[in-house]
Amino acid sequence: QLKAPKLEVLDSGMATERGKVAVLVTWPEASDGHRTRPTEYLCTKLSGRAEQAVYSGRTSGCEVLCEPGERVQFVVQAKNGKGLGPRSTPSRPLQVPPCRTPHARAGSSADPPPAAAPAAPAPAVGSPATPVLCVAAAQRVEAKGRLRAAVKASRARPSDETLEALRRAYRAAHVHLQVDVQADLRGQPTSTSAVSGRLLKEARRAIDAANTLQQKRESCKRKLQELLDSHVTDAAVLRNRIELAEGMGVVGDALRELKQRLAAALQQARPRPRAGGAAWSEEVEAAEAAKRAAAEEEAQLQRAIEASVREDAARDEAARLDAERRAARA
């Protein structure tokens, strides 16, 4: 029996445009020793007394579009050649938050939000007109973009918040890109799977670096408190510690009080010059060179991602047309 799925609310523009809220549902892969392994998973949404199967596939997670305000739980079952296994323990209940309008996502408050367009009648599930492929393609593209943005934010503004956003974006991207990863493992790589694997590896490296930086932030916070308790008033020492803490994304009362102490020290005397100026200049030049190399690598990856997005769209469109042709012949 599988463990209870974990739920997370995603920031999804695609879901917002449809008046929905995106919920990421993940669960650990099933394992039963050396016996037959599961080939698929079935995820079911529980809302009140209603049950709805929302996902069936090989990956150990899915992104579900939920109605704002509804209270939901999810259960998952493993499936193999012997049939469907027992249900997992239900996930913790989730009260789906209100849907943020595109106007709210843009962050503008000066103009009123535009009037919503009349909704088109929804086609029956399973009919040729059901835009399943389009939704899946949009979610996959959005997951890549969300992960790229989270990686950049974690590097530009290191903090506990950007690290958690990066972890959440990685989990969502891993769900949508597992198919590409599995293709590589089976020895059937494509240009799209290569980009997906490269993107996930880059994100994994960014998470590892952010985790290390988080540990350094905790250590830096302790040192700031020790410095605060020692009543040091040397402006050069205070400035160096404050710059180091801000570069790591440290926030808190200790840093704020040290800034106030530095301001008072600067009013009493001019700060002494920093020791080791030549070494500092070399460090700055090395950091700038590393930034330029990282920017070039990101630009190359972005071009590869855009190419893979176009390939995804073309493949999904071809599949949709093929489904329509089969439905017409039937």
Task: Give DSSP secondary structure letters for 216-264.
Answer: HHHHHHHHHHHHHHTT---HHHHHHHHHHHHHTT--SHHHHHHHHHHHH
Q: Which residue has the higher pLDDT, 262 or 55?
A: 55
Nearest CA-CA partner of 3 in 37, 34, 36, 26: 26
Counting residues of the chain whose pLDDT is more than 90, the rounded percentage is 18
Max avg pLDDT among 122-131, 178-187, 209-218, 288-297 = 209-218
Contact between 184 and 201 (Cβ < 8 Å): no
**Cα gap 26→76, rounded to integer Å:** 9
Contact between 124 and 136 (Cβ < 8 Å): no
**Cα gap 138→147, rounded to integer Å:** 14
Is the pLDDT at 130 greater than 60, yes or no?
no
pLDDT score of 156: 87
Contact between 68 and 98 (Cβ < 8 Å): yes
pLDDT band for position 299 (50/70/90)?
A: confident
Q: What are phi and psi of 175, to 5 degrees?
A: -65, -45
pTM for the complete prediction?
0.61
pLDDT band for position 35 (50/70/90)?
A: low
The residues, any chain, with a CB within 8 Å of residue 189's CB and separated by 6 or more, are 183
Contact between 174 and 161 (Cβ < 8 Å): no
In 3-state terms, what secondary structure has residue 49? coil
Contact between 207 and 170 (Cβ < 8 Å): yes
Q: What are phi and psi of 39, to 5 degrees?
A: -105, -20
- Tokens, residue 149: 């943005």
Q: How many residues does the chain have?
A: 330
